[in-house]
Amino acid sequence: MIRLHHCPQTRSMRTLWLLYELEVDFEVVLHAFDKSLRDPEYLSLSPAGRVPALEIDGERMFETGAITEFLCERFPQANMGRGPDDPDRMAWLVWVHFAETISQHAAALTQQHIMLYEDDMRSPIVMKLEAVRLGKCYDAIEARLSTPVENRDYLLTSGFSAADVSVGQAVYMARHFAKLDRHPAVAEWYARITERPEFQKSLPEAGAGIYTQDFYPAWETGG
């Protein structure tokens, strides 16, 4: 039995998308993105009160990078991971975990624009800095995708993998705060991976996510 504890438009979407790509049976427990994640019952699954939390075979996991590695090893038939002897193993690990770098900046901006509901709580300086940092993350992805390697449509030369899922979901969140206009290779790759039915299944229902706008300009203090 696999049970995913999930809040729409959070890091747990990364695990949800991956589970669909793995084509395994699982169930989803939806949580509100609020103080209920600090309830003792949920803290027994995720001590920091964050999503995702994953229950599998009577055990529990938290932290998306660890969950991604474990699931790809547990279900290798989907070829979403890369084993220790695979030439792309190093790159796979780097990009799976780089997703968290992107997510940290997106989370800071989510806090500024969404969670801090009064204008005087917000910092335009923080907003600008974090949006610029997202741009630097896009630069790294752009450089990877622009490297002249034959048939590289994804982050790995060997094809689509959990690295694309992890980074793709992080970019999905980041695009609420930093557009892809100056990163054509990233925009093309992002369009390609988000056409996948498994990504579409992981999207929240209308009105169920955190964000009420498609884009939040960094220079505005209003929500």
E strand spans, the chain: 2-6, 27-30, 53-56, 59-62
Show the domain range for 169. 89-202
Do 93 and 198 share a domain, yes or no? yes
Do 49 and 93 share a domain, yes or no? no
Instruction: pLDDT tens for the chain, 223 residues: list them.
Output: 999 999 999 999 999 999 999 999 999 999 999 999 999 999 999 999 999 999 999 999 999 999 999 999 999 999 999 999 999 999 999 999 999 999 999 999 999 999 887 888 889 999 999 999 999 999 999 999 997 776 579 999 999 999 999 999 999 999 999 999 999 999 999 999 999 999 999 999 988 889 999 999 976 544 4
CA distances from 132 to 93, 158, 218 (A): 25, 31, 9
- The encoded tokens of residue 125 equal 């300086």
Do 103 and 193 share a domain, yes or no? yes
Three-state DSSP class for 76? Answer: helix
The CATH number of the domain where 121 resides is what? 1.20.1050.10
Global confidence as pTM = 0.94
Q: Is residue 109 part of a domain?
A: yes
Three-state DSSP class for 146? Answer: helix
Do 42 and 130 share a domain, yes or no? no
Do 189 and 107 share a domain, yes or no? yes
Count of structural domains within the chain: 2
Do 61 and 132 share a domain, yes or no? no
